Amino acid sequence: MTVKIAIISDTHFGVSRGTEREEDCWENAREAFEKAKDCDLIILPGDLFDGRIPRPEDWAKSMEILSGVNVPVVAIHGNHERRGKEMINPVEGLERAKFLKYIHCNSVTLDVKGVKISIYGIGWVPESYAKEVLRHCNPKPIDGSYNILVMHQSISPYVFNPLDPPSIRLEDLPPGFDLYVNGHIHWPVKTEVHGKPFLIPGSTVTTQVNKSESKNPKGFYIVEIGEKVDIKFVKLENARKVYYQEFEISEKDKLSEVMEKIENYLNGINDEKKPLVRVILKGKVKSGMDIDRSKIKKKYRDRLILSIGLKVIEGEVQKKIKLLRDLKEKKVSIDEMGMNILRENMKELDIPPLYENIFDFLVDGNIDSAITYLLSNSENASLRSTGIKKWL
Ligand SMILES: [Mn+2]
């Protein structure tokens, strides 16, 4: 007798709403659940939803997908679903409606086709608390069961955001489990810990267009347990393709040459489903060179979902002149204004100058990471006094 377990992670229901790729999360999830149809158990390691308070449209579509599943579903919450202890997070909401079994710092044991399977789950906690929470919950395998540990953290060396460093390493995971599963990381990983498989399926949908998204397929894992354990990665065929390209520019380059380089690259991309393309321009630009990003974007908008990032360094003097000119013309970006306000406020709070990192988190809408980063980098004891209990 073999038992097939599907592990589908980070479906991010509701992500990119209001954009031309708002259907992606649904299309990809439907493909994944369809391809998991012959499985006997489904594990969802967090970030099922993109937001902690899903819209009715997201509830409806997610319940539609889950109502088509006729096998047990076990889930934990991710950082995107985390709500206060006294509140109900959306994954718990689905449990109340009996769509799944939600676990956090506890386990569930199921009889699947006569095979006892025990799943211990720990939902996301701020990275700086993960080690303490793991020690406190102290997950232990159950005798006579096939034991699975499920988490949603950065686990070194697998780090989602280098600015939000993990407190646990792979070797810190408790031994004795037959399978280790993690969400959070959006690219697939298959390795071993304590001689047993450690799997991260990655997200089913692209949430941020970056290099790793362009290099890794979207999909999920199916683990088949029988005489031996068989693990296969199931690719999502309909997922939107991602392209990422950096261009190095030098002060010698003419604008026409830079433009030609970019357009040659973009003309070479041809996909039926509009791909996500991110172009980064790096290096030094000649003063006064004005790369018209919106013009390029417009030109390709029927074929590509394009974004162009500038990571160019202009000479210090040029930068200052530009800032002054922009100030005069009131063109100072929202980013700069926001950064200045944050810098002033943090000075008052006597917090070390970490505002640039925190600002990046805030711009990304990653408020959890901003708070965690602030807490873990702060000497201020009262800020940390909330303590680990808050996360259990
Ligand atoms: Mn995620």
Delineate the domains of the chain, giving CATH numbers in brackets: 3-235 (3.60.21.10), 242-382 (no CATH)
| CA of 311 relative to ligand 1 center, distance in Å | 26
Beta-ladder partners of 41: 5
Confidence (pLDDT) at 373: 72
- Tell how strand 146-151 and strand 179-182 pair up: parallel
Structure tokens at 30: 């439907």
| CA of 341 relative to ligand 1 center, distance in Å | 29
Structure tokens at 162: 């280098």
Confidence (pLDDT) at 22: 97
| CA of 134 relative to ligand 1 center, distance in Å | 20
Cα–Cα distance between 323 and 166 in angstroms, integer? Answer: 37
- Ordered DSSP codes for 87-141: S--HHHHHHHTTS-EE-SSEEEEEEETTEEEEEEEE----HHHHHHHHHHH----
Q: Which amino acid is at 236?
A: L
Cα–Cα distance between 17 and 289 in angstroms, integer? Answer: 35
| CA of 29 relative to ligand 1 center, distance in Å | 14
| CA of 201 relative to ligand 1 center, distance in Å | 11
Task: List the beta strands (DSSP E) in 161-304.
Answer: 168-169, 179-182, 189-193, 196-200, 219-225, 229-235, 242-249, 276-284
- Cβ proximity of 387 and 375 under 8 Å: no
| CA of 261 relative to ligand 1 center, distance in Å | 34
| CA of 196 relative to ligand 1 center, distance in Å | 24
Buried b (16+ CB within 10 A) or exposed e, 240-258: bbbbbbeeebeeebeeeeb
Confidence (pLDDT) at 386: 56
Structure tokens at 167: 């407190």
What are the per-10-residue average pLDDT scores of the chain (392 residues)?
96 96 98 98 98 96 97 97 90 98 98 97 95 96 98 96 91 98 98 98 96 97 96 98 94 88 96 96 78 90 93 63 64 68 68 66 73 66 58 74
| CA of 49 relative to ligand 1 center, distance in Å | 9
Backbone angles phi, psi at 63, to 5 degrees: -70, -35
| CA of 260 relative to ligand 1 center, distance in Å | 36
| CA of 250 relative to ligand 1 center, distance in Å | 36
- Cβ proximity of 171 and 379 under 8 Å: no
| CA of 16 relative to ligand 1 center, distance in Å | 13
- Cβ proximity of 122 and 139 under 8 Å: yes
Cα–Cα distance between 170 and 37 in angstroms, integer? Answer: 31
Task: Give every CB contact of residue 177 below 8 A, 6+ residues apart in sequence.
Answer: 120, 139, 141, 147, 148, 149, 194, 196
| CA of 202 relative to ligand 1 center, distance in Å | 8
User: Exposed (0-12), middle (13-18) or buried (19+): which is 34, by Cβ within 10 Å?
Assistant: exposed
| CA of 195 relative to ligand 1 center, distance in Å | 27
- Tell how strand 189-193 and strand 179-182 pair up: unpaired
At residue 363, the 3 state secondary structure works out as helix
Backbone angles phi, psi at 344, to 5 degrees: -65, -45
| CA of 338 relative to ligand 1 center, distance in Å | 26
Around ion ligand 1, residues with a beta carbon closer than 5 Å are 10, 47
| CA of 284 relative to ligand 1 center, distance in Å | 34
| CA of 389 relative to ligand 1 center, distance in Å | 24
At residue 304, the 3 state secondary structure works out as coil
| CA of 160 relative to ligand 1 center, distance in Å | 9
C-beta contacts of 93-102 below 8 A and 24+ residues apart: 93/59, 94/48, 94/62, 94/63, 94/66, 97/63, 99/63, 99/66, 99/67, 99/69, 99/73, 100/44, 100/66, 100/72, 100/73, 100/74, 100/75, 101/72, 101/73, 101/74, 101/75, 102/75, 102/76, 102/77
| CA of 379 relative to ligand 1 center, distance in Å | 29
| CA of 81 relative to ligand 1 center, distance in Å | 10
Q: List the one residue out of 176, 182, 120, 116 whose CA is nearest residue 148.
A: 120
| CA of 386 relative to ligand 1 center, distance in Å | 25
| CA of 139 relative to ligand 1 center, distance in Å | 23
Confidence (pLDDT) at 252: 86
Radius of gyration of the chain (CA): 23
* Prior bond of 175 cis (ω within 30°): no
- Cβ proximity of 152 and 184 under 8 Å: yes
| CA of 374 relative to ligand 1 center, distance in Å | 21
| CA of 215 relative to ligand 1 center, distance in Å | 18
Cα–Cα distance between 384 and 376 in angstroms, integer? Answer: 8
